[in-house]
Amino acid sequence: MNKWGIFAVVIIILYIVAGLGSKLFNVQDYEDKILVIPINGVITLEKSSGIYGLGGQSTETVLEDIKTAGKDKTVKGIILEINSPGGAVVASQEIADAVKSINKTKYAVIREVGASGGYWVASSTDKIIASPMSITGSIGVIGSYLEFSGLFEKYGIGYERIVSGEKKDIGTPYRDLTPEEKTLMENKLKIVHEYFIKQVAINRHMEIDDVRKIATGEFYLGSEAKELGLIDEFGNRETAIELMKKELNNTEIKVITREHQTSIFDLFSGVSYNMGRGIGSVLLEQEQKGLRIEV
């Protein structure tokens, strides 16, 4: 057997041992508990790939945690520990809707940043705790894409436009938006923005017009956010835990933090994938994704 064969066998053995170990030590806990679920980085629909993938929080991971917690009768309260600038619109909405669907005590702790989509998720809880210096709010929507037409013109590269619908290639990086197309896209963003505003108003029990006045996309420090009604308390994770213990009338309740372990296969697949990708694949991904709308 050559060295690569031996290496593969060692990897498989390590993976099996790790799996068996996790099962042996994953004993069912029947104590009542508060579950802390971290939401870190950009909120996305897809999982990042491996240790060299772009950092982010996929809905797949968070939704699994929320659904599991919702079914677990020993989980009496959930704390979302948020450090996120926002991300994909649908991903943020899915997490916020899942949180609201759980009939348990739910708090959010905003650490450094809980803005835009991150704030949308936080607003879906019963209480928001943040530092006076935390970055919050930023209730707005952005649509963006790379545009290469000037670069193409410089190097004599042409874009042959063949479409079967006049608006089919809106957001392609190979040409400018026409004034009509830009207006069209701005109107789409306004629809998303208005939906975002309404959801925050519902979640925070605020008047829509009051939310609309501050929904300029501006971020607010925690000290400003409290005056505007966007957060409830100053503090941190420990503050949230103590407040929830009091609300649950159980000062001895156990606190568990949800942690995700990456398998050894995930690590190596991530390395091989990212070592093999270059600027060409990045541009291809941009072309496939086209215009991105984020909160």
Q: Mean pLDDT by 10-residue block, N- to C-terminus, for the chain (295 residues)? A: 60 57 49 94 71 58 92 95 92 95 96 95 97 94 74 74 76 79 87 95 96 94 96 97 96 87 46 41 46 66
Question: Which domain range does residue 96 map to?
Answer: 29-294
What pLDDT was estimated at residue 208? 96
Residue 46 domain flag? yes
Residues 6 or more apart from 52 whose CB is under 8 A from it? 270, 271, 274, 275
Residue 113 domain flag? yes
Q: Indicate if 84 belongs to the active site.
A: no
Q: Indicate if 116 belongs to the active site.
A: yes
Cα separation, 23 vs 261, whole angstroms: 13
Residue 208 domain flag? yes
One-letter amino acid of 209: D
What pLDDT was estimated at residue 247? 96
Residue 176 domain flag? yes
- Say which residue the tokens 């390590």 belong to: 14
Among 37, 39, 42, smallest CA distance to 55 is for: 42
Spot the catalytic one: 58, 84, 92, 116.
116
Residue 158 domain flag? yes
Residue 145 domain flag? yes
In the structure encoding, which two tokens stand for residue 183, read together?
């207006």
What pLDDT was estimated at residue 276? 44
What pLDDT was estimated at residue 52? 37
Residue 23 domain flag? no
Cα separation, 244 vs 80, whole angstroms: 12
What pLDDT was estimated at residue 164? 78
pTM: 0.77
Residue 83 domain flag? yes
Residues 6 or more apart from 169 whose CB is under 8 A from it? 161, 163, 175
- Say which residue the tokens 């919702």 belong to: 70
Cα separation, 203 vs 181, whole angstroms: 33
Q: What CATH number does residue 150 fall under?
A: 3.90.226.10
CA dist list (Å): 14 to 8, 11, 20, 263: 10, 5, 10, 10
What pLDDT was estimated at residue 45? 82
Query: Looking at the 3D structure of the chain, how many domains does it have?
Result: 1
Spot the catalytic one: 67, 168, 190, 246.
168
Specify whether the CB–CB gap between 47 and 4 falls below 8 A. no
In the structure encoding, which two tokens stand for residue 57, read together?
């929080």
